[in-house]
Amino acid sequence: MEKKPEVAEKATPLETLPEAAQILTVPALAPLVTYPLEVVVPEARQQTPAVGQRATRQDGRLHGLGQTKYIDDWYFPGMLFAKIKRAGVASARIKSIDTKEAEAMPGVVAVITGKDIPCNSFGPSLKDQPVLADTRVFHAGDGVAAVAAVTEQIAADALEKIKVEYEVLTPVLDPLESLKLETPGVHAPNANIYGHKVIKKGDVEKAFAESYQVFEGSYRTQMVEHVPLEPHATIAMWDPNGRVSIYSTLGRITLGRADVARTLGIPMSRIRMIATIVGGNFGGKNEITTEPALALLSKKTGRPVKCTFTRPEEFYASTTRHPLIMDYKTGVTKEGKILGRKIRLVLDGGAYCSWSETTLAKACILSTGPYNIENLYAEAFVVYTNKTMTGAMRGFGVPQVCFAHESHMDEIATALNIDPLDIRLLNAFEEGSLSPTSQKLQSVVVKESLLQAAQRFGWIANGNGKGNGAQS
């Protein structure tokens, strides 16, 4: 067999080291980074009682010195760099994947595809997401192959050499289209509606009939990204006892370990997951991404393997926030007291379930707003589309429904000539109020927050919802 041309390990040598020292792959001359070892501990950290102190953070000093080691800052001897080939097509059947040319590239040590993953599905609830797509692509960010090479550049170049043959299918992009029963299933034979929730109390139609006025409003929110400053990063390495250590930006290492155990078919006691201080999560790093693939690459090559997402991958290959379509109908008295509220929510659930069930539930439960409503009907659907998978993002659907219910409240206030502050005070929860799910609420301070904010702002109610903050 023809021998591949040799490629210098770590093509960027660490400084011009003397000949003998070049054998080592750790810097022989570690830079002398100076920082004071004795620094006065700030007052608040030394005070008792500890609760209530404006204590500085344990990691604050390291951050300020630039000494916090994030995963991308770590280098292990012999470490390889991995990159993932992304589908680039929103919906397709994979007919074939040819990795021979990539594998033959100088500097490429291993290539794996979905077929190499023992159990190729995972997910926080529905296990509908593959580690690497092997038969079907459901969104353009789906990974179809993973390459480990001696440098990041070679790994990225090798992706171009991987030939994937697709049978391109028509993607479903509009969640309202996806909601219709006649639209072909994104994950056929499964239905497009993969989550449904209803919360109801009292008799909302009767409440509408008894209302002074009934208002309707429709609201939409967009897909956004977490944009943590630190991209996803993972390092995997094995020890001779057959234990794999995985360093990851994952925010849930217990779940991560369980997922790696399941996808690779190995016992949990053989897996160690370590998270360093993460450079921002906001919900986007709450499920595994490349961890099983990297563990496999590391096993195949016998070396540590690191993968960091590029910034574009952060957008199209990691989870995003659910866009919501929200329809509200509210019946009120002449004074603005809510008698009944009916809500329909449609969540664009992206290509995979991810955290959609939680988002659906939270959005539905919180959708009525912090208001006493005896008659309500809130129904929420989440549907598949061939867009980037939507998952956990700071607020789980509540920033979206809050935008809806607060805009709606203001529209009612304007129409009835009531100050927006007053209409909220009239309807807000109090200590012991019942939530839409009839939970008795404790430590309720909605009104206090309204009044405090209004006072701090200098809000002067002038009765018709058109007050001008400048005239305080």
Partner 1 sequence: MKRRGRGIACMWYPIGFTVAANPSSAVVKVNEDGTATLLTGTVETGQGSLTILAQIAAQELGIATEDVHVVSADTDTTPMDTGAIASRTTYVTGNAVRLAAEKAKLILFDVAAPMLGVKPSQLEARDHKIFVKGYPQRNVHIGDVANHARLVTGEPPIGSASFNPHTVALDPETGQGKPFGTYVYATQIAEVDVDDETGEVEVLRIVASHDCGTAINPMLVEGQVEGGVSMGVGFALQEEILFNKDGIQINPNLTNYIMPTSLDMPEVEVDIVDNYDPTGPFGAKGVGEPTLVPTAAAILNAIHNAVGVRITSLPATAEKVYAAIKAKRAQSGKQLPGGASRPQLGGAPAPSPAD
Partner 2 sequence: MVTVTINVNGEKRTASVPPETTLLRMLRDSLNLTGAKLGCDVGDCGACTVIVDGKPVNSCLMLAAQADGRDVLTIEGLATADRLHPIQKAFENYGSLQCGFCGPGVLMSAKALLDENPNPTVPEIRDALGGNLCRCTGYSKMIEAIQVAARAMRGEPAEKTA
Residues of span 378-417 touching partner 2 by CB under 8 A:
none
What gap in Å lies between CA 276 and CA 63, rounded to an integer?
13
Among 74, 76, 166, 403, binds partner 1 (CB under 8 A): 403
Per-position x/- string for 223-242, each x denoting binding to partner 2 as judged by CB under 8 A, each - no binding: ---xxxxxx-----------
Based on the shown chain and the rule CB under 8 A, indicate whether residue 58 belongs to the binding site for partner 1.
yes
Determine, following the binding rule CB under 8 A, whether residue 215 of this chain makes contact with partner 1.
no
CB 160 to partner 2: min, Å: 17
399 binds, among partner 1, partner 2, none (CB under 5 to 8 A by kind): partner 1
- The option from partner 2, partner 1, none interacting with 188 (CB < 5 to 8 A, set by class) reads none
Count CB neighbours of 417 within 10 A.
11
113, 289, 298, 308: which one binds partner 2 (CB under 8 A): 308
Q: Please, what is the minimum distance in Å from the beta carbon of residue 289 to partner 1?
A: 15
How many chain residues interact with partner 2 (CB under 8 A)?
50
Site for partner 2 in 25-44 (CB under 8 A): 27, 30-37, 39, 42
Q: What residues numbered 418-437 form the site for partner 1, per CB under 8 A?
A: 420-421, 424, 428-429, 435-437
- What amino acid is encoded at 231 in this protein? P
Cis status, amide bond into 31, omega within 30 of 0: no
Binding mask of the shown chain, residues 94 to 133, with x at each position contacting partner 2 by CB under 8 A: ----------------------------------------
Q: Pick from 24, 46, 47, 63: which binds partner 2 (CB under 8 A)? A: 63
By residue count, the chain amounts to: 472
394 or 466, CB closer to partner 2? 394
Q: Determine the Cα–Cα distance for residues 353 and 300; give it in Å rounded to an integer.
A: 30
E strand or H helix that includes residue 360: helix 356-366
Judged by CB under 8 A, the residue of 24, 59, 77, 335 near partner 2 is 59
Under a CB-based contact definition with an 8 Å cutoff, are residues 248 and 274 in contact? yes
Q: Which does 61 bind (CB under 5 to 8 A by kind): partner 1, partner 2, none?
A: partner 2
Task: Identify the CA nearest to 347 among candidates 175, 103, 471, 123.
Answer: 175
Two tokens, residue 99: 């990795």
- Identify residue 373 by its one-letter amino acid code: I
Please state, in angstroms and rounded to a whole number, the distance separating the CA atoms of residues 424 and 403: 15
Of residues 157-176, those binding partner 1 (CB under 8 A): 171, 173
DSSP 3-state assignment of 81? strand
Q: Report residue 30: phi and psi, to 5°.
A: -70, 135
The option from partner 2, partner 1, none interacting with 35 (CB < 5 to 8 A, set by class) reads partner 2
Residue 233 C-alpha from the chain's centroid:
14
Token digits for 308?
């960091």
282 binds partner 1 (CB under 8 A): yes
Q: How many CB atoms lie within 10 A of CB 464?
A: 12
Site string for partner 2, 411-450 (x = CB under 8 A): ----------------------------------------
Residues 6+ apart with CB under 8 A from 203: 340, 375
Euclidean distance between CA atoms 18 and 264, whole angstroms: 42
Q: How many CB atoms lie within 10 A of CB 255?
A: 16
Q: What is the footprint of partner 1 within residues 310-349 (CB under 8 A)?
A: 311-316, 320
**Is there a contact between 25 and 77 (Cβ–Cβ < 8 Å)?**
yes
**β-strands 324-332, 143-149 pairing:** unpaired
Q: How many Å apart are CA 326 and CA 403, to the nearest integer?
A: 10
Q: Which does 454 bind (CB under 5 to 8 A by kind): partner 2, partner 1, none?
A: partner 1
Q: Of partner 2, partner 1, none, which one does residue 450 interact with (CB within 5 to 8 Å by kind)?
A: partner 1
Q: How far apart are CA 316 and CA 284, in angstroms?
A: 12
The angle at the Cα of 218, spanning 215 to 223, to the nearest 5 degrees, equals 155
Q: Which entry of partner 1, partner 2, none binds 16, CB below 5 to 8 A by partner kind?
A: partner 2
Q: Which does 45 bind (CB under 5 to 8 A by kind): partner 1, partner 2, none?
A: partner 1
Binding mask 207-226 for partner 2 (x = CB under 8 A): -------------------x
The answer to whether 197 touches 380, Cβ cutoff 8 Å, is yes
Q: Which of 56, 222, 254, 439 binds partner 2 (CB under 8 A)?
A: 56
Sequence-distant (6+) residues with CB within 8 A of 248 are 71, 233, 234, 235, 256, 273, 274, 275, 288, 291
DSSP letter at 320?
A: B
Q: Does 62 engage in binding with partner 1 (CB under 8 A)? A: no
441 binds, among partner 2, partner 1, none (CB under 5 to 8 A by kind): partner 1
Q: Which does 96 bind (CB under 5 to 8 A by kind): partner 2, partner 1, none?
A: none
Check residue 81 for interaction with partner 1 (CB under 8 A): no
Residue 64 in contact with partner 2, rule: CB under 8 A:
yes
The residue (of 59 and 210) whose beta carbon lies closer to partner 1 is 59
Q: Where are the beta strands (DSSP E) in 285-392?
A: 305-308, 324-332, 338-348, 375-383
* Binding footprint of partner 2 on the chain (CB under 8 A): 10-16, 27, 30-37, 39, 42, 54, 56-57, 59-70, 72-73, 75, 226-231, 277-280, 282, 308, 310-311
